[in-house]
Structure 1
């Protein structure tokens, strides 16, 4: 098959591309003319938790995981995401963030046959020290390739003897009383001195099996350096410019949130992703909590003059693929996997998504042309 339109290649814009045997290459097959369309590499999403709303449309209402994961795949493809890391917690927070749910989710994802490459990222809470072996068993059983360390313990409030914000809501989600939840938080905070040594051992074991390690929400340069020393070479959503600078100067990959770009700033008043990108302090964008934001962020960067669309698109395709070592995708070059999306230039809506050359999503005028 030959797709004719405005094609983004690593060398610049071309007027057509061939797809054969699931990869990009010369083709003498059917020619499909797609006027008014951009033909682009599929998006590679390194961290997204938008799938949670499909698993539990209402709080506590977890339904059929098979049906939910099918809905997730459709949403991903409709938003041009051909490779997705589904960020699943392994946390003391309980409910959908607890170890029991993480194990169920991993098993369901392994059993699901999908076209979109959906992988699990495990978000391990750093103070859950008595569950490290259980987490490592899950990682080995399901061949988890990317682990991120989080710390959601409200240290500042606890250190002041205050009741942490949103305590009652968090307790309800976890199935605990507010009193029991507060007691748990206090016990977790008291384990702080033991965390570095435990994470060091966990990091060694993860590196030995080739699992990538990241840290989440680094807020200082010192914090980033600590996680790097423990083996975490990826900094997800650094909260400050200092943390992002420390990551880049230390050779770490920096992942920022696409919704932050779209909004023009962080909803939590953290560092502006747009500003960090303009300063060269970003390697890749991730959907975070909103899958449509990946494409929207690329166009926002171009529209605002931060970079051209080719450079912006690289942040959601080729660069994230490089970060996690997926050298077979992320760019429309010969021999790469044919993960291709067709975007209506006027509306910027995805009208076709191909994964390894097969149709994963199809609509609009492109659907009419491909099915003629």
Structure 2
């Protein structure tokens, strides 16, 4: 793993500390925020913000090659977008070979091997289709191997079944979009639908093991408040992409965190199902923004919320740092404070582009004028190769 940055201070920037943007220096050494009269990098014209914690990333899969490799690219992409901790949502599904449990198990093995050289803290999240009850033993084996941090349940099979019955052309488009044919998707669907009666008992069995192992789990796309309440009752507290504002309100009413995709803030398509995320944020019904299929969406979404007057920057940034870190039970990150993990996202205040990322005290991304500022410090000249 690359070495820590030498002890240094970041000065001159607007820094988010103690819930406020203030012109204060921050110091870091040996991977932690600290205090001390260290050599300074002067960053006027920049925001120095807590490193971003992304609790659901699915877009990373486009960086995988035909053999399932691509983790170095996934690591670099996260860093370039200011992310210091990211949960990679790996499918556990019936739809086709590439999203089957075997592919997830193989990816978990590769991710474990990559950890020794990764800069971004990459976590494994299993996106599990609820009807996969016949593969629960394999999922539990993976969980017991200590490489899974989160599991998100969904039930697309029933949605796809209804689509097949009501709109064959849309069903075919779905199959093509997911790399298959209508015939292959239909055959896979017919094979998994008989598992439906065993889902409630299967979810309860998984929940018991997840609770004992300290695994966070939840559900994706709950269509009604009643479905959300059912998931909450079994312990599936994470509410990802609620289907309506009422679903989000039901989650918040019992203290379950609501996660919503940042891209909807940027592109609120009228035809897209579900409530508009900016409206959820404004109503206090969203605890964290996630990247979903759009890895670069977090920073632009935060600034769009600021532009729209939904939240000031210091509160909007909490949706991608402090609050998701708290949800993920990662108390060592999400804020800039002495003793915490030195995760920093440095954003050009004018262009609003990420120009540097520090993950756990290691420089994971550097570009633009910020690169020149870093390299002016004699002790950091060796960073040019990074």
> Which TM-score tier does this pair reach, normalised by the shorter chain?
over 0.9
- What is the alpha-carbon distance in structure 2 between the residues aligned to residue 105 and residue 289 of structure 1? 18
State yes or no: 1:117 paired with 2:121.
yes
Pair 1:17 & 2:19 matched: no
- Please, which moves more after superposition, 14-23 or 229-238? 14-23
Specify the SS of the correspondent of 2:239. Answer: strand
- Across the aligned residues of Structure 1 and Structure 2, the Cα RMSD in angstroms comes to 2.0
How far, CA to CA, are the matches of 1:345 and 1:139 in structure 2?
42
- Contact (CA 8 Å) 1:260, 1:267: kept in 2 or not? no
Number of positions where the alignment pairs a residue of Structure 1 with one of Structure 2: 365
How many Å apart are 1:82 and its aligned residue? 0.2
Unaligned runs of 5+ in 1: 57-61
Whether 1:2 and 2:9 are equivalent positions in the alignment is yes
**What is the aligned counterpart of 2:47 among 21, 38, 49?**
38
Match of 1:226 among 225, 230, 241: 230
Structure 1 residue 292: deviation in Å? 1.4
Q: Show the counterpart of 2:141.
A: 137
* 2: CA distance, partners of 1:11 / 1:268: 34
Aligned partner (choices 241, 245, 254) of residue 245 of structure 2: 241
For 2:207 and 2:169, how far apart are their aligned partners in 1?
A: 31
Matches within 5 A, 1:1-372: 1-4=8-11, 5-12=13-20, 13-56=22-65, 62-63=66-67, 65=69, 68-112=70-114, 113-155=117-159, 157-158=161-162, 161-162=165-166, 166-168=170-172, 178-265=182-269, 268-372=272-376
C-alpha spacing 1:163/1:131, structure 2 compared with 1 (3 Å): farther
Give, in angstroms, the shift of residue 264 of structure 1.
Answer: 3.3
Deviates more, 1:151-160 or 1:250-259: 151-160
Asked whether the 8 Å contact 2:161–2:189 carries over to 1, the reply is no
Supply the distance in 1 between the matched residues of 2:58 and 2:179 (Cα, whole angstroms). 21
CA contact (8 A) 1:95 1:175 kept: no
The separation in 2 between residues aligned to 1:21 and 1:175, in whole angstroms, is 45
Return 5+ residue gaps in structure 2 as ranges.
Answer: 1-7, 377-386
Give the drift of 1:178: 3.6
Q: Structure 1 residue 189: deviation in Å?
A: 2.9
Would you say the 8 A contact 1:260–1:266 is kept in 2? no
Give, in whole Å, the separation in 1 of the partners of 2:145 and 2:53. 24
Contact 1:7 1:15 (8 Å CA) reproduced: yes
**Stretch moving more, 261-270 or 235-244:** 261-270
Say if 1:90 and 1:99, in contact at 8 Å, map to a contact too. Answer: yes
TM-score (norm 2): 0.89
